[in-house]
Structure 1
Amino acid sequence: MAPLVSVIIPVYNAENFLRETLESMIGQTYQNIEILCVDDGSTDSSPAILEEYKKKDGRIRVFRKENGGGGAARNYGLDRAAGEYLYFFDSDDVANKNLLEKAVSRALETNADLVAFNGYTFMENDLNKKTYKSGFNKNILKDVNSVFSYRDYPNSILSIVNVVPWNKIIRRDIVKKHNIRYDEISSSDDLTFSVLCAAVAERIAVVDNALMNYRLGHSGTITSTYANKLFNVKHALESTERQINALPYADQICISLYNLILDNYCFIFTNYTFDFDTQQVKAFYEFLHTRFSDAQLGSLKRGCIRNEYTFALYESIKKHTYEEMRRIRAHDITVSLTSYPARIDYVHHVIENIAAQTLKPKRVLLWLSKQQFKNRNEDLPQSLIDCVSRGEVEIKWCNDDLRSHKKYFYTMQEYPNDIVITVDDDLIYPNTMISSLYQSYIAFPDCISGMRVHVVGLDKKKKKILDYAKWIKQFDRDILIPSKQLFATTGAGCLFPPGILDERAFNKQKLLELCPLADDIWVNLMALANGVGTVCAVRNFYLHYCAPQEDSLFWVNVNQHKNEEQYEAVRAWLERDLGTGYFYDAVSEQNDAFDLNDPLALIDYAEFLRLSKMSSDKKLNRAYAEKSELNAKLQKTYEEKAQRGKEINKLKAENLALSKKTAQFERKMRKIEKTFFFRVYRFLKRVFTR
């Protein structure tokens, strides 16, 4: 009987993992398969292992060829496959036992040309620690139970099934009919193959389960430098574009093609252009700068591009020459925060959180006032000292107590050429916070980027800025669109480009006089005074507290209306030089990002959001406060437990030492009891004690 599925496995120097991979495949619950192992010129024991398993299982066929990379090895297996469906598997991955059973069942049930499924990723030798990896984009796909093709999703079909070899089975006939091949390059060899299969498949289905485990940290058949990756993607995308444009319905899926091209180029630019001074990166960037401005891609609008960051970066690359972008990327990142005695026991949580970010800053600075910590380091908790010892933070001492302003005030002056990211001492951030803010900065290097922003409310009839209480809070309907109407909250994670604030922002006397309790009001108005806009960097960002909130400035500023007082005081002072109405005019500039033609709609929307969120915010903040109290008690319990543990260990050590001494004494006594003198002593003792 002919096999229904041909499993094609390229093999290159995989001796450490190959047996596990083959066992997972020959142990499949669905048995009507052939396994084509293509050895790509291995120099280790992989060929011997393949021969061993070939003898063990008659479904295994082994081929050897000169080293040519993963794409060439997959093509070699493809040309020799006999199954109705193809499945490409890597020589270091591990399949669930029911992978093929579920995929084949779905294919037969729906008569699908392509069936996509999910998986897990895991680090090299630890299959127990897995991360879920989607094999298809459920944000696009309306119904995971549907069967679809380019006709159903013409603007996004090329982005639904992820571009990897392991996440799909494909009908061999459509591959042969359209002569679809893997690119024979050292990386990105699967891009063209995967995209074309999705483009030509008449019936696509998915299995919404994780069916395999993809190993990270092992190169397998593919080895490539960062520089090669840049131009391999270029080669793969040009090959894909050429073949997609040859399809009779190419004009129907052109938007999907543009999204694919921009997504991949922007991904590579973000992740593989670390050393921006190399000739390879310069050549690649100049290619992008030209390509993004050509007749085909140069006039794309925001509505055409699905990914907001892709569009923002596309616009930035179009706008900036290589030298301009090199200067934008040349700055170090400094994360800056402050704390005070009531919070200092909890600040290590924030520092450890920053240390775990996917994008690492050059430095993390914690500003503390000498007035509040009289004995300096002696007043600091061991948890913070440990962070310093690990190199996660540098403590900087200042003479004055500028309260929350310390988080930016000194850092921006001491490191004027750095990108400064401000954070609070009581919040836990997503591990992509720095990365998200930096990506926003690359797209908008002349703007403040915030994880959390508000919309300043306006009364256009009276030409005035509404009270803070009537602003639209935590607005993220439109992200990565600069606006002077946005107000970034500095503690939630806020990026300031170098030199974005002028000397007025560092007027200590006026700062303490006009705005002592609200650093975000101060810096936002100072930025507006310089004509600087703000960008919301992410969507769906929520505050997660790690410290008690009883004495938080938030409650003082909101409940006692201090935000309104301080905003008005700073505005009035600045407008003495800028002119009356400057800030209203700046904030009310026409901005296509928000539909503000009807001012009442904005006010109504702000009021609606304010009222609808008030109840849930109170409950949420109460829950966070209770959680913080529990965390504090738990921290105290852990410390007490640790102290008890030390005492127990000390007692155990003393007990062990005594036991050893007792054993030594008993051994000596047994030796003494055997001596002539002891027998005489015992005899005399009996005689004289009668």
Structure 2
Amino acid sequence: MALVAKGWRQRLQRVPGLRALWSAQHGLRRYVLYLGLRAWMPLLSRYPALSRIKSRPHHLTTPLVVSLTSHPPRFWCLALTLQCLLRQTVRPDHLILWIAHEHKSELPDAVLKLQMRGLDIRYVEDLKSYKKLIPALQTFGFDVNHVIVDDDMYQAPNWLESLLDAPSENEVVCHFGRYWCDEQGRVSTYRQWPAMDPGAVSCRGFIIGHGGVWFPPVSLGPEACDYELAVQLCPLQDDVWFTWHALMRGYRIRRTPRSTRRFSWPGADANGVALSDQNNPQHGGNDLAIEKMIKHYGSPLSSFEARRKSQ
């Protein structure tokens, strides 16, 4: 029934005028929810007893580190994002905000106060989008569970739980993914990449970071921390870089069976702040990064097969 409803919804959105109406309705619902959360979250911070969410420890055998980064254009909505992450049904061992040294003085008080609720803020060299994960890998090592999440998103209370509930043996798990090539290994432009169906798993999968990604132990290695090479090949496209390195280590990409409710805060992507806008210009961005990665490393499909056969 859900698939039928989704199909009808897609058909209706193609009707002239209905697509604009649908978009306006979605925007209004998002803004109303945003205003409600802005009013409600400070109350929950002051009076934790008001919250009905009961968090529990995770079921993993090694530590769980959740990381995100941010920069001044997004600081206005950062506290709201962090409050969502602090109200998860599953507790990570560490929730870390990685901030460039030069942006330390600009962090809002609302963010700094969240350290009393378990937030860990660490200041590092400005590695742009790569400071979300490379410092975490270097600090905590490669044999723990690393989860990354964006700084401009509402994440439902069960966001982390639903990510961890997906099977993960030799798999990197994401809430949203695409196929970077077809079954014959042919690569089309990024804008034509089909979405992975819920629950799909493939060595042709590609992680979409804005829904959150779980990298199980040893799915990434020291080579993934080569920032100088990363910015040569993928200056802004960290999703490309980390997808390639996971595939080359023999890990497939899995999309979760269900994606939790999420949306970006109204205005968070204004004025070209969204990295996705910078990643996907015509004849560039992800397409150019993929071309460079294949030229440097070759197709990850061959590396994937070689690694899996040797295990």
Query: For this structure pair, what is the TM-score category when the shorter chain's length is used for normalisation?
Result: 0.7 to 0.9
Is the Cα contact below 8 Å between 2:58 and 2:91 reproduced in 1? no
Q: Please give the per-residue CA displacement for 1:89-118, whole angstroms capped at 9, x wherever unaligned.
A: xxxxxxxxxxxxxxxxxxxxxxxxxxxxxx
Of 253, 264, 287 in structure 2, the residue corresponding to residue 564 of structure 1 is 287
Shift of 1:445: 2.9
Following superposition, the deviation at residue 509 of structure 1 comes to 0.9
Q: Which has the higher contact order (CA 8 A, sep 6+)?
A: 2
Give the C-alpha shift of residue 459 in structure 1: 7.3
Aligned counterparts, 1:32-47, within 5 A: none
The aligned counterpart of 2:300 is: 583
TM-score, normalisation: structure 2: 0.73
Query: What does residue 363 of structure 1 align with?
Result: 94
1:548 paired to 2:268? yes
Change (3 A) 1:540 1:433: closer
Counterpart among 59, 64, 71 of residue 340 in structure 1: 71
2:176 aligns with one of 434, 452, 464: 452
Per the TM alignment, residue 566 of structure 1 is displaced from its structure 2 partner at its CA by 1.0
Q: Distance in 1 between matches of 2:254 and 2:157?
A: 20
1:39-62 superposed Cα distances (whole Å, 9 cap, x missing partner): xxxxxxxxxxxxxxxxxxxxxxxx
TM-score, reference length from structure 1: 0.34
Q: Is the 8 A contact 1:529 1:574 kept in 2?
A: no
> Are the equivalent residues in 2 in contact too, given 1:486–1:534 (CA < 8 A)?
yes
Q: Distance in 1 between matches of 2:204 and 2:303?
A: 8
SS at match of 2:90: coil
2:110 aligned with 1:383, yes or no? yes
Q: Counterpart amino acid of 2:161?
A: S
Structure 1 residues 464 and 588: alpha-carbon distance in aligned structure 2, compared to 1, 3 A threshold: farther
Q: Give the equivalent residue in structure 1 for 2:164.
A: 438
Deviation at 1:464, TM superposition (A): 2.5
Q: CA 1:411 to 1:344, structure 2 compared with 1: closer, same or farther past 3 Å?
A: same
- Local SS of the residue matching 1:464: coil
**Which AA in structure 1 matches 2:295?**
A
- Answer whether contact 1:453 1:488 (CA < 8 A) is retained: yes
Q: Is the aligned partner of 1:353 residue 2:84?
A: yes
**Whole-angstrom CA distance in 2 between matches of 1:431 and 1:453:** 21
| Alignment partner of 2:237 out of 518, 521, 541 | 518
- Quote the residue 2:219 is aligned against: 500
Q: Which has the larger radius of gyration?
A: 1
Q: What is the RMSD computed on CA atoms of the aligned residues?
A: 2.7
Structure 1 residues 415 and 436: alpha-carbon distance in aligned structure 2, compared to 1, 3 A threshold: same
Question: Compared with structure 1, are the counterparts of its residues 540 and 360 closer, same or farther at alpha carbon in structure 2 (3 Å cutoff)?
Answer: closer
In the aligned structure 2, how far is the partner of 1:573 from the partner of 1:432? 39
- What is the match of residue 465 of structure 1? 187
Q: Is the 8 A contact 1:451 1:494 kept in 2?
A: yes
Alpha-carbon displacement from aligned partner over 1:634-660 (angstroms, at most 9, x marks no partner): xxxxxxxxxxxxxxxxxxxxxxxxxxx
SS at match of 1:346: helix
Question: In 2 relative to 1, CA 429–394 (structure 1 residues): closer, same or farther, beyond 3 Å?
Answer: same
Q: Is the 8 A contact 1:457 1:472 kept in 2?
A: no
User: Does structure 2 retain, via aligned residues, the 8 Å contact 1:348–1:384?
Assistant: yes
Q: Give the superposition deviation at 1:418.
A: 2.3
Which residue number in structure 1 is paired with residue 12 of structure 2?
A: none
Among residues 227, 234, 248, which one is paired with 1:529 in the alignment? Answer: 248
Change (3 A) 1:584 1:353: same
TM-fit CA distance, 1:357: 0.8
Which residue in the other structure is 1:426 paired with? 152
For the residue of structure 2 that corresponds to 1:437, the secondary structure is helix
1:386 partner amino acid: K
Contiguous gaps of at least 5 residues in structure 2: 3-51, 307-311
* 1:385 maps to amino acid: L
Letter of the 1:397 partner, please give it.
Answer: Y
AA aligned to 2:274 is S
Contact 1:483 1:534 in 2 (8 A): yes
- The one-character-per-residue Cα deviations of 1:322-355 (angstroms, maximum 9, x if unpaired) are xxxxxxx311211100001111121111110011
Residues 298-337 of structure 1: pairs in structure 2 closer than 5 A: 329-337=60-68
Matches within 5 A, 1:75-86: none
Q: Kindly provide the CA deviation profile for residues 362-385 of structure 1, in whole angstroms up to 9, marking residues without a partner as x.
A: 1110111113x2xx3x32111101
> Do the aligned partners of 1:459 and 1:465 also contact (CA within 8 Å) in 2?
no
Cα deviation, residue 469, structure 1: 1.6
Deviation of 1:395 (Å): 0.8
1:406 corresponds to which of 125, 131, 134: 131
Task: Please say if 1:574 is aligned against 2:291.
Answer: no
- Kept in 2, the 8 Å contact 1:448–1:495? The answer is yes
Asked if the contact 1:356/1:431 (under 8 Å) is kept, the reply is yes
Distance in 2, Cα, partners of 1:413 & 1:351: 23
Q: Counterpart of 2:39?
A: none
- Which secondary structure state, in structure 1, belongs to the residue aligned with residue 81 of structure 2? helix
- Encode CA deviations 1:296-342: one digit per residue, 9 max, x unaligned: xxxxxxxxxxxxxxxxxxxxxxxxxxxxxxxxx31121110000111
CA change 1:397–1:444 in 2 (3 A) is same
Question: Identical aligned pairs, as a percentage?
Answer: 22
- The 1-side partners of 2:304 and 2:145 are apart by 25
Q: CA, structure 1 residues 275+450, in 2 after alignment: closer, same or farther (shift >3 Å)?
A: closer
CA distance in 1, matches of 2:189, 2:262: 23
Superposition deviation, residue 517 in structure 1: 0.5
Structure 2 SS opposite 1:534: strand
User: What letter is aligned with 1:583?
Assistant: P
Q: How does 1:386-397 map to 2 (within 5 A)?
A: 386-391=113-118, 393-397=119-123
1:482 Cα deviation after fit: 2.8
How does 1:80-479 map onto structure 2 within 5 Å? 329-371=60-102, 373=103, 376=104, 378-391=105-118, 393-399=119-125, 401-416=126-141, 417-440=143-166, 443-458=167-182, 460=184, 463-473=185-195, 475-476=196-197, 478-479=198-199
**Judging changes above 3 Å, is the alpha-carbon distance between structure 1 residues 587 and 419 closer, same or farther for their aligned structure 2 residues?**
closer
Residue by residue over 1:591-620, the C-alpha shift from the partner in whole angstroms, topping out at 9 and shown as x without a partner, is: xxxxxxxxxxxxxxxxxxxxxxxxxxxxxx
| Residue 573 of structure 1, CA deviation | 1.1
Do the aligned residues in 2 keep the contact of 1:427 with 1:545 (CA within 8 Å)? yes
The one-letter amino acid of 2:257's match is V
Aligned length: 250
| Partner amino acid, structure 1, of 2:275 | L
Aligned amino acid, residue 204 of structure 2 = Q
Q: Distance in 2 between matches of 1:542 and 1:519?
A: 24
